[in-house]
Chain A
């Protein structure tokens, strides 16, 4: 039982990270109907930004309180990654809007390759470790929860709340939802659709950057290929939850995290990715609209 609960906690932590990345996939899909395959690399980029900030703090300022360091890492990573994603959208995706559906998808794969190679060249191909930043562990009745797990879950919950508020309650969120439903009509009501789409990319990137920084903190290591597997898993999470649905992305992320950690705990860790991607296949076959997605009904 303790073992199970332990795995549950590990799964939720991992799931929070996947959920944050999945939101980026699902939002972009919702608003322009495109799977941004470069989103996983944006996540990896966020991790590297966090790493660089950490090293700067350590070398230039000779260290700082953990909370301050973490906050700086998060903020800089969010800003840098947002700028990257904004530029990518501007340069690579916007000119293709109105082109056939496959064009931006293929471009996204190209951008993904370009980003990971860019990091490989500039940061080197080896694993980049950072020392344990937060290492207290609390043990309650045989179940150990590390402080970093608590930090990850708290940051995720706080971000999701802020994010939910923006989407549901602000004019910006309303414009995003309107653009999602009928882009042309939104433009006719005076909404600058291009700008709204750019902001969507920026928001997705900011969340991915947080996920990247927390991934770095959790595993203590990052490498240029780290965008791929977590990225595809977060994509699986978005599909499982119902692509286009924000709560679906979060729920999908948590489920994928849980499945992965429980599978590793009770079966074999070598096949954990197989388990996750088998789910992707099953969802696509049996419930393509996902858990919370609305099936597309074409009116005739």
Chain B
């Protein structure tokens, strides 16, 4: 797995082409195209209401886009058109997992169970749709042991192993976020989509999150696509940034490039009143 990550080939794992999403009269996304490259951390940023979460919802089968294509290219060469798939198939077959802006853990289940639920399909198959499992077949016992080990590996990685048997709802906020990421990873994704993973975290939790995300990329070869408002996180961990405004792409490139793009500065980061002229000037120069 780690060999996969070290060979940083620049092929695209996810291609979004001419994506449009209309809600009645509102064009939430308008002809958006971008790529997520394999083995990289790609950040999707933009002001509130720019359509970032809508893009996520299209990718993960929550919404059916009005127009456009979203194709997922797996390591072994299989490709999927995500816009044609039901939500559970996006995870199960296309291997795309996601987390939410507002945490959606199964708060009544323990940490371990949360991670086992994420391995449901493998376990179901191994248990012969419960029948063989009830009869105590060895193949099921092995699979269930393997699943538990995988869950423990991720608990360890998210520094949550001490609380494996507590209900997930009892965890503090930052730990719940890490658990949600661990759970998403237990589905064995090739692409992990994170919707504002750093929202509401204190600086220390934010650091732990960065560490977790980097190690996911390095050790597991999973590509990441994240929506983030916290610029320090974006600049620190992402390899590639896509900037949206009013449903359209206004900039695309590495963090340094995006940070200095005057359109981004004007649109997203905001400028002081007396600087507006300067920025407009720069933008016009850039356009010429």
Which A residues are closer than 8 A to B by beta carbons?
Answer: 162, 165-166, 170-172, 174-175, 177-178, 181-182, 184-193
* Residue from the list B87, B109, B133, B183 in contact with A171, Cβ < 8 A: B133
Q: Which of A162, A166, A191, A193 contacts B117, CB < 8 Å?
A: A191
Cβ contact within 8 Å between B92 and A190: yes
Least distance between A299 CB and chain B CB atoms (Å): 10
Compute how far the CA of A186 lies from the CA of B86 in the bound complex, rounded to whole angstroms.
13
Q: Which residues of B contact A193 (CB under 8 A)?
A: 88
A178 to B90, CA, bound (A): 18
Picked from A165, A174, A182, A188, the residue with its CB within 8 Å of the CB of B88 is A188
Q: Judging by beta carbons under 8 Å apart, are B134 and A170 in contact? A: yes
- B87 & A175 in contact (Cβ 8 Å cutoff): no
| Contact of B42 with A by CB under 8 A | no
Q: Assess the B87–A187 pair: CB atoms within 8 A.
A: yes
In whole Å, how far is B36's beta carbon from the nearest beta carbon of chain A? 18
CA–CA, A190 and B124, complex, Å: 11
* A178 nearest CB neighbor, chain B only: B117
* B107 interfacial contact with A, CB 8 Å: yes
**Residue from A174, A181, A182, A185 in contact with B120 in the complex, judged by beta carbons closer than 8 Å:** A174
The reply to whether B91 and A190 contact each other, CB–CB distance below 8 Å, is yes
Contacts of A178 in B (CB 8 A): 106, 109, 117, 120
Chain B, interface size category, equals 20 to 34
Contact among B91, B113, B129 for A188, CB-based, below 8 A = B91
One of A162, A181, A187 near B107 (C-beta < 8 A): A181
Do the beta carbons of A188 and B107 come within 8 Å of each other? Answer: no
- Residue of A170, A184, A186, A191 near B133 (CB, 8 A) is A170
A171: B residues at CB distance < 8 A: 116, 119-120, 123-124, 127, 130, 133, 144
Q: Find residues 107-161 in chain B having any chain A CB closer than 8 Å to their own CB.
A: 107-109, 113, 116-121, 123-124, 127, 129-130, 133-134, 144
Contacts of B124 in A (CB 8 A): 171-172, 175
**What would 26 A/B residue contacts be, using CB atoms closer than 8 Å?**
A170-B130, A170-B133, A171-B120, A171-B130, A171-B133, A172-B124, A172-B130, A174-B109, A175-B124, A177-B113, A178-B106, A178-B109, A178-B117, A181-B106, A182-B104, A184-B62, A185-B104, A185-B106, A186-B106, A187-B86, A188-B90, A189-B91, A189-B120, A189-B183, A190-B92, A191-B121
The answer to whether A189 touches B127 (Cβ under 8 A) is no
The 3 closest A-B pairs by CB, nearest first: A171-B123, A190-B92, A190-B91
Query: Measuring CB to CB, which residues of chain B are less than 8 angstroms from any residue of chain A?
Result: 60, 62, 86-88, 90-92, 97-98, 100, 104, 106-109, 113, 116-121, 123-124, 127, 129-130, 133-134, 144, 183-184, 187
* CA of A192 to CA of B187, assembled, Å: 14
Least CB distance, B53 to chain A, in whole angstroms: 14
Query: How far is B92's CA from A180's CA once the two chains are assembled, in angstroms?
Result: 20
Contacts of B118 in A (CB 8 A): 189-190
From residue A74, how far is it (CB to closest CB) to chain B in Å? 17
* Known interface pairs A174-B117, A187-B91, A189-B117; 17 further A-B residue pairs with C-beta atoms within 8 A, sorted by A's residue number: A170-B134, A171-B116, A172-B127, A174-B120, A175-B124, A177-B109, A178-B117, A181-B106, A182-B106, A186-B117, A188-B88, A188-B98, A189-B120, A190-B91, A190-B92, A190-B118, A190-B121
Q: A175 vs B88: C-alpha distance in the bound complex, in angstroms?
A: 13
How distant is the Cα of A171 from the Cα of B123 in the complex, in angstroms? 6
Complex Cα spacing A174 to B129, Å: 13
Question: Would B108 and A174 count as touching, CB distance under 8 A?
Answer: no
Give the docked Cα–Cα distance between A189 and B133 (Å).
21
Contacts of A172 in B (CB 8 A): 124, 127, 129-130
Instruction: Give Cα A20 to B14, complex, Å.
Output: 50
Q: How far is the CB of B183 from chain A (nearest CB, A)?
A: 7
**Closest Cβ–Cβ distance, residue B129 to chain A (whole Å):** 8
CA distance A193 to B118 in the complex (A): 13
Rounded to whole Å, the gap between the CB of A79 and the closest CB of chain B is 14
Residues of chain A within 8 A (CB-CB) of B184 are: 189
CA–CA, A125 to B107, complex, Å? Answer: 49
Cα–Cα distance between A171 and B129 once the two chains are bound (Å): 9
Shortest CB-to-CB span from A203 to chain B, Å, is: 10
Q: Within the assembled complex, what's the spacing in Å between the Cα atoms of A184 and B88? A: 9
**Chain A residues with CB below 8 A from B86, complex form:** 187
With A190-B121, A191-B117 already in contact, the answer to whether A177 and B108 are too (CB < 8 A) is: yes
Q: Looking at the assembled complex, report how far the CB atom of B169 sits from the nearest CB atom of chain A, in whole angstroms.
A: 10
Select from chain B the residue with minimum beta-carbon distance to A189: B118
CA distance A187 to B89 in the complex (A): 8
Give the chain B neighbours of A162 by CB distance below 8 A: 134
Q: Are A177 and B106 in contact (CB under 8 A)?
A: yes
Known contacts: A174-B116, A184-B87. The answer to whether A190 contacts B187 by CB under 8 A is yes
A181 to B167, CA, bound (A): 13
Which of A162, A166, A174, A184 has most B Cβ within 10 Å?
A: A174
The minimal Cβ–Cβ distance linking A300 to chain B, given in whole angstroms, is 14
Contacts of B92 in A (CB 8 A): 190
Nearest CB in chain B: distance from A243 CB, A: 16
Give the complex CA separation of A162 and B97 in angstroms.
33
Closest to A177 in B: B109
Residues of chain B contacted by A177 (CB below 8 angstroms): 106, 108-109, 113
